[in-house]
Amino acid sequence: MEDLLSARLQMAVSLGFHIIFACIGMVMPFLMAFSHWKWLRTGRPVYLDLTKAWSKGVAIFFATGAVSGTVLSFELGLLWPEFMRHAGPVIGMPFSWEGTAFFLEAIAIGLYLYGWNRINRGVHWVTGVFVGISGVASGIFVVAANAWMNSPAGFDWVDGKAINIDPVAAMFNDAWFSQALHMTLAAFISTCFAVAAFMRCSCSASVIILCMPAP
């Protein structure tokens, strides 16, 4: 197998694995925060149980997404060193902002998971919302870098070198908005349908168990 094909296959497998957890990690915090808000409004225990169950899932998906995303960041430099040598100075800004959003998300999820009965209820709920906001922002920054590869901007290519670099123009290239919007909507739609399907299956199983005759 040629090195180019091997690198492409490795990147494809890593991206295909990561994108599942990235999409779930972007959306589940909002579902968690919504059920938490319903509990704060109604006081019904079912919403509290659902919130705590989903918060455990959010933590697991966050950890898995972080690890698989770290693999991708290493692959960019190890598999495509020549590309990154030229592209890094141009499109490095959204990657750095993505790192910032990731660390803020990590702080927020730590406060949320360990803040039960320790911090103000309203502040605790806000940290859950912030987990979702920072996750979506992180995804948008990464997609902006991907969009730049489809619509390069923010530099002049002269004698094999990138000059007159404008990181802002590179990040907000012609393709970033449509791709970021598509990715965000796709994440919400796919994750919400998956959650709805899982909840329906769980409810159906519960109904079947309840309707079974006693032995």
The model's pLDDT over 161-184, given as tens digits with 9 standing for 90+, comes to 888 889 999 999 999 999 999 999
Ramachandran assignment for 17, one of left (phi > 0), alpha (psi -120 to 50 degrees), beta (any other): alpha
pLDDT > 60? residue 70: yes
pLDDT > 90? residue 147: yes
Residue 146 and residue 130: Cα distance in Å, rounded?
24
pLDDT of the residue at 162: 84
pLDDT of the residue at 201: 63
Domain count, the chain: 1
pLDDT band, residue 209 (cuts 50/70/90): very low
Which residues in 142-202 belong to E strands, given as ranges?
A: 156-158, 161-163
> By C-alpha distance, which of 139, 140, 133, 97 is closest to 112?
133
**What residues make up the domain containing 9?**
3-211
- 84 versus 214: which is more confidently predicted? 84
pTM: 0.86
Q: How many CB atoms lie within 10 A of CB 151?
A: 13
Tokens in use for 24? 């779930």
pLDDT band, residue 65 (cuts 50/70/90): confident
